[in-house]
Amino acid sequence: MPKPVPSAKKPQDAAAPRPIPEFEGVHDVWPRGDRLHAVRRAAAAYRERFVQQGRIHAVRSFDIAAAPYPTRFGFHGAALAVNPFVSIVNRMLAVQFHGFDGEPKTLVWEPTVAAGTAQAPFYAQLKRLAGDFLADHVFARYYQDPDTVLPSCGLRAEDVDFVSFDHLHVQDVRMIMGSTSTISGERVPRESLFPRAQLLVHRKELGTFESMHPMQWAWYVDGGMDGVPGERITAFDGDVELGVGVSLLWTPGHTDGNHSLVLNTPDGVWVSSENGISADNWQPELSRIPGVRRHAAFYGREVVPNANTLEDSLDQYDSMVKEKTLADPSRRDPRWLQILPSSELARFKRQWPVLPGFTHGGLNYGELTLADGGR
């Protein structure tokens, strides 16, 4: 029998996420072609209001680790490749903004703990097949752990208000939010990396841990939510706003509870998710990766999803259109949209010819400050 997932607190106060009315009911529209049009219209309408609310105070990104990833998954089988694996770089974002209660807030997005990721069935089995050297030194690179990032830029872990991931593939949440149960092989339960933070998670993503489907199993850490205190979890439904210039948009398809981070910055709107692993996924017509542009043109598609689970490929397609509609053109190259993959395709030579047509490489706006105004 599956272990019960901790019950999550329901948002009630002014600092909690608030729903976005523009998206109300769009995922229920039928037939599916009409749903895509409804999603696009709703995203355009919300974008107009979102940019008028104001901008975030600051955001910085930090490379955490590069992990191996099957090439055929990254581009829905479209990429013609020599190497069966590429590497994707996970980045953690620290975002500071004002909540709708008027108070300064800090969100940490994607604070992946590599030791937990290694326990996901896909990576555990890959390591057994490929061996330690290939798995740990050729395909993977480790840059830093989340708990070392904030002190390196003058912030304190206790100043973090929110933690969130676009979805919980390969995450051992116990290592991030703490747990009352002990991880196998360890002697005591984990303490939270962010002692005051709430984990923001879509209710459908949280529900996946209650009963795992075989098509989902390989990508979720077994027991990864065990003992995580329910009072540390804020579950939400649909699309929500966190504060001025920060929203979490429900973008189902890659997983049932997938959601995307949307930020309003001095360079316009940015979106971050793992619906794609490269800018090429959202704009295949510009891609130089062999096969990607031709695949999209042949099937008459404007996006090429990152497809390791295919929980619902039609929903994922709609979600990527939703992201494209929100994002502004890049200031570095206006042909490309400001969509930052939460795990971005690396430019390692061994991956040739599967190299990204454009790499965003992270975000850096403003200056992160302590909650009391210090640095």
Between residues 373 and 361, the one the model is more confident about: 361
Q: Are 178 and 268 in contact (CB under 8 A)?
A: no
CA 49 to chain centre: 23
Q: Which residues pair with 248 in a beta bridge?
A: 240, 261
The pLDDT mean for the chain works out to 93
Residue type (1 letter), 82:
V
Q: How far apart are CA 162 and CA 157, in angstroms?
A: 11
- The pLDDT of 123-143, averaged and rounded, is 81
The whole-number average pLDDT for the span 322-328 is 98
Which pLDDT score is estimated for 157? 95
User: Average of pLDDT values for 101-110?
Assistant: 97
Judge whether residue 121 has pLDDT over 70: yes
- pLDDT of 134 > 80? The answer is no
| Residue 137: predicted pLDDT | 67
Task: Assess contact for 215 and 169: CB atoms under 8 A.
Answer: no
pLDDT at 50: 98
Do the Cβ atoms of 61 and 364 come closer than 8 Å?
yes
Helix (H) or strand (E) holding 42: helix 32-53
* Cα–Cα nearest to 304, from 279, 328, 327: 279
Cα–Cα nearest to 284, from 312, 324, 257, 254 = 324
- Whole-number pLDDT of residue 309: 83
The answer to whether residues 60 and 152 touch, using CB atoms and an 8 Å cutoff, is: no
Stated pTM of the model = 0.94
Angle between helices 313-326 and 32-53 (to 10 degrees): 30
Residue 133 has pLDDT above 80, yes or no: no
Per DSSP, what are the bridge partners of residue 341? Answer: 273
DSSP character for 51?
Answer: H
State residue 299's pLDDT score. 97
pLDDT exceeds 80 at position 167 = yes
Transcribe 270-293 into DSSP letters: EEEESS-SSHHHH-GGG--STTHH
Where would I find the beta strands (DSSP E) of 99-143?
104-109, 141-142
State yes or no: pLDDT of 91 exceeds 80.
yes
Match 């939270």 to its residue by tokens: 192
pLDDT band at 311 (very low <50, low <70, confident <90, very high): confident
> How sure is the predictor about 2, in pLDDT bands with cuts at 50, 70 and 90?
very low
CB-based contacts of 132, cutoff 8 Å, min separation 6: none
For residue 225, the model assigns a pLDDT of: 96
In sequence order, the 6+-apart residues with CB closer than 8 A to the CB of 267 are: 328, 331, 338, 365
CB 71 within 8 A of CB 85: yes
**Which secondary-structure segment (H or E) carries 364?**
strand 364-365
The band of 1, judged by pLDDT with boundaries at 50, 70 and 90, is very low
Lookup: tokens for 222 = 């077994």
- Which tens digits make up the pLDDT trace of 260-306? 999 999 999 999 999 999 999 999 999 999 999 999 999 999 999 99
Q: What backbone torsions phi and psi does residue 249 show, to the nearest 5 degrees? A: -100, 130
Q: How far apart are CA 164 and CA 173, in angstroms?
A: 10
Question: Which of the listed ranges 131-140, 278-287, 308-317 does the model predict with the highest average pLDDT?
Answer: 278-287
Is the pLDDT at 346 greater than 60? The verdict is yes
Is the separation of the CB atoms in 50 and 277 below 8 Å?
A: no
Q: Is the pLDDT of residue 373 over 80?
A: no
pLDDT of amino acid 154: 87
Is 7 a residue whose pLDDT tops 80? no
Instruction: Please say if the pLDDT value at position 230 is more than 60.
Output: yes
User: For residue 284, how many other CB atoms are within 10 A of its CB?
Assistant: 26
User: What gap in Å lies between CA 119 and CA 86, rounded to an integer?
Assistant: 20
Least confident of 33-37, 246-250, 276-280, 309-313: 309-313
Give me the pLDDT at residue 56, please. 98
Q: Does pLDDT of 243 surpass 90?
A: yes
**Cα–chain center distance at 374:** 29
